[in-house]
Chain A
Amino acid sequence: MSHAVMGLVVPGQPHPLLAAEQSPAWQSLRDSFAQAKQRIEESEAELLVIYSTQWPSVIGHQIQADPEPEWVHVDENWHAMGSIPYKFKMDADFAQAYCHAAKERGLHSRTVAYQGFPIDTGTVVALKLLNPDNRIPACVVSCNMYADRAETLVLGKAARDAIEAQGKKTVAVAVTALSNRMFTQPIEPKEDKISSLKDDEWNQKLLEFFAEGRLEDVSQLARQFTAQANGDNKLKAIWWLAALMGQSNRYVGEVIDYQPINGSGAAIVSLTPSTQAAMNQEFDEDDVEHYGGDRKVLDSGSDAQDEQGMENAQASQAAQANLVNAAEAPKPVGAYPHARREGDTLFLSGVGPRQAGSDAIPGGAVKNSDGSANDYDVEAQTRAVIENVKTVLEASGSSLDKVIDVTVFLIDMDRDFATFNKVYKEYFEHIGATRTTLAISALPTPIAVEFKVLARA
């Protein structure tokens, strides 16, 4: 299923906008931008969502939400080419929706709407050439300088979430160079070329994939490409675009142009969803839906989370932060977390005796693989259940002595209650948790005991 009506890859240097006449390569790009603009019009897009490698951020990702940013922009490198006055139309509602969707997926993000905010050259060039009359409102997201693939994929998926929620026909634009090695000496514009044959060959390889509509394959190749050809910001823009467009090779790809800009590889590529894949993609790297973060460095301890801190926490982030999955506890057998924190209360999913990793059942399974009954040891099973409960509680920042209420499920009340009750007493005698014990016909795995637990967080 497609989420955007078209994806575009465009370069962000100002040469095609400001100095096209100086070089046939830059003029060609200028003309190709015009062609891309035509495609956008034909797509009847209602929204342009842009990721620019030239807008760096440090604090998560920033999303432009000023409805009418206006400035006279001058590029820090190419100031001699002239100034770029602009006034853009941004979709502030979408910016908010995108920011929200990013948070829902565990990303740190914020919108920015400040008079005089320095919109980056890449965004300015793309909007000036693709949407000169501001017919289509736009949204721009930053490129976090520390973000790697996982974070950038999730950022792309969050854009997709917001696009789906709003239901607008959207064109996604990745503003990025391919190879990004520029000449550091002045060049004669007419003689601009890709800075090395090697970079050129790698660019051609990517463009072959693009032409076949293999967007996901390009995304998977990004790391090798960057290592070999100095990819622009690790090709994060392509990771973002591929994730936004649905991570597949099902596109009609067209390489509208490929030229040098001061040595860097500048391509204009369009990708429109197609029902047919070029071929099945190989996934060399893991996919990721939700950003867990590898750098939650501010929350170094639970004591840092005082009441004020909790109040300040974004509700949506909190919702995700509330889920606990304990590495030391057995894997859930369905789509549920080990525990969930709501306010001061911790709700645990049902806990059985299976051992983390091996899934072995202490005291034996209740039946053998042929279905015949097994003489299991309920004492060992009960102990294992309580140890697993402890593990999940501790992983959630709680502990056994904070248990409020226990519901116990036994598959054979007559056979097992007395033994279970003895073991239970060892652990819970002084805790004072309320308890209910039920007999049921079966549990999802061949076990005899399961606990459902509520505790103080």
Chain B
Amino acid sequence: MAAGEIVAGILAPHPPHLVYAENPPQNEPSAECGWEVLRWGYERLRKKLDAMDYDVLVVHSPHWKTTVGHHFLGVPHFKSISVDPVFPNLFRYHYELDVDVGLAEAICAGAKSAGLVTQMMRNPDFRVDYGTIISCHLLNPAWDKPIVGISSSRAYYYYNNEVGDREMLALGEATRQAVEASGKKAVLIASNSLSHRHFTEEPEVPEDMRNEHIYHHGQYLWDMRMLKLMKEGKSQQLMDEMPDFIEQSVSECKEGCLSWLMGALQMPSYPAEVYAYGSVIGTGNAIVEWDPKSAEVSA
């Protein structure tokens, strides 16, 4: 068996607004327009992924929050409706998806032997979190590839950002090893926004773009700084600054997804490609891809 590999690592935030504005058949509410820059960014990235040969999407989501360690979807098939508890007016999405349980079990076991607390989620009534659903829809709306779903453990909240990052780097490393051992080509998805302060009021027409802007200039500056580091391939510096970034821009990186991705990609020193950046109800969102092949080319 050929060794498996990570064929792409993607920062793929999950604002429900992007699905809402797209009007896919799976989503109940409908919109006139909205958040085009981000949606077109996803469109371009989708084209690249569609042309790529890959077997599985491995997604780490902020909206499956677990207290006792890291959990993994462990049921082969899910079908249900996902309703965003915060924006139920925008996102009521009928999903049906397959899980690569074998790969999930391998990552779960690998992370456990690396010293992390892990657990498989075997309850068939479980509802897959909306972060996972949204990021996966935006990258693969046909749902024709299985996914591996990983929860967001609370280490950042129970200890601190530094401890959280350390755990996530270890989980990323376990993910990479399991992917390589599986012989599969995997796309990794970190499903989080960057800066994350929301407006707490919504316009009457949610897609009224007159109101859409970053919550605070400081957030924007932080977001640009982090994106610059990504574009320059300065992952270690990105990780070094991550705790401050999380603190000062209320970043959703606190859920660990991006740190996990950096761990899985072994601190990439090649430049990432930014597909789009935009605000959604005040939060900063970037679609970013790390393509390990580009590292080989530049080397």
Contact = CB atoms under 8 A, between A and B. Distances in A.
B125 A312 contact: no
Given A184-B154, A298-B201, A80 B119 contact: yes
Interface in B206-222: 210-211, 215
Nearest to B122: A80
B125 to A, nearest CB: 4
Given A80-B121, A80-B122, A298-B201, 6 more contacts: A74-B126, A77-B68, A79-B121, A115-B92, A184-B68, A304-B211
Interface of A: 55-60, 62, 72-74, 76-77, 79-80, 82-83, 108, 112, 114-118, 120, 144, 146, 181-186, 262, 295-298, 304, 309, 312
B40 interface: no
Contact of B87 (A59, A297, A309, A312): A59
24 contacts: A56-B85, A56-B86, A57-B85, A57-B86, A58-B200, A59-B200, A59-B202, A60-B200, A60-B201, A72-B125, A73-B125, A74-B125, A74-B126, A74-B127, A76-B151, A79-B122, A114-B88, A117-B88, A146-B198, A182-B67, A184-B153, A186-B68, A262-B68, A304-B210
A74 B123 contact: yes
Contacts of B129: 76
B117 interface: yes
A146 B282 CA distance: 14
Given A297-B201, A297-B215, A184 B65 contact: no
A185 B117 contact: yes
Given A79-B123, A181-B158, A118 B67 contact: no
Contacts of B64: 76
Nearest to B63: A76
Contacts of A146: 198, 200
B229 interface: no
A181 B66 CA distance: 13
A298 B199 CA distance: 8
Contact of B282 (A77, A120, A297): A297
Interface residues of B, number: 42
Interface of B: 64-69, 71, 80-81, 83, 85-89, 92, 117, 119, 121-123, 125-127, 129, 151, 153-155, 158, 198-204, 210-211, 215, 281-282
Nearest to B69: A184
Contacts of B85: 55-57, 117-118, 120
Q: Which 10 A-B pairs have the closest CB atoms?
A: A312-B204, A83-B125, A79-B123, A116-B81, A74-B126, A72-B125, A59-B202, A58-B198, A74-B125, A182-B67
Contacts of A73: 125
A74 B74 CA distance: 14
Nearest to A54: B85
Contact of A144 (B65, B81, B200, B282): B200
Contacts of B122: 79-80
Nearest to B126: A74
A195 to B, nearest CB: 10
Contacts of B153: 184
A52 to B, nearest CB: 11
A117 to B, nearest CB: 5
Nearest to A117: B83
Contacts of B127: 74, 118
A181 B216 CA distance: 31
Given A79-B126, A80-B122, A116 B151 contact: no
A116 B83 contact: yes
Nearest to A114: B88
A183 B68 contact: yes
Contacts of A62: 88
A59 B83 contact: no
A117 B69 CA distance: 27
Nearest to B92: A114
Contacts of A117: 83, 85, 88
B274 to A, nearest CB: 26
Given A59-B87, A114-B83, A118-B127, A185 B200 contact: no
A295 B215 CA distance: 10
B172 to A, nearest CB: 19
A186 B117 contact: yes
Contacts of B204: 309, 312
Contacts of B201: 59-60, 108, 295-298
Given A83-B123, A184-B68, A295 B86 contact: no
Contacts of B80: 116
B243 to A, nearest CB: 19
A295 B211 CA distance: 14
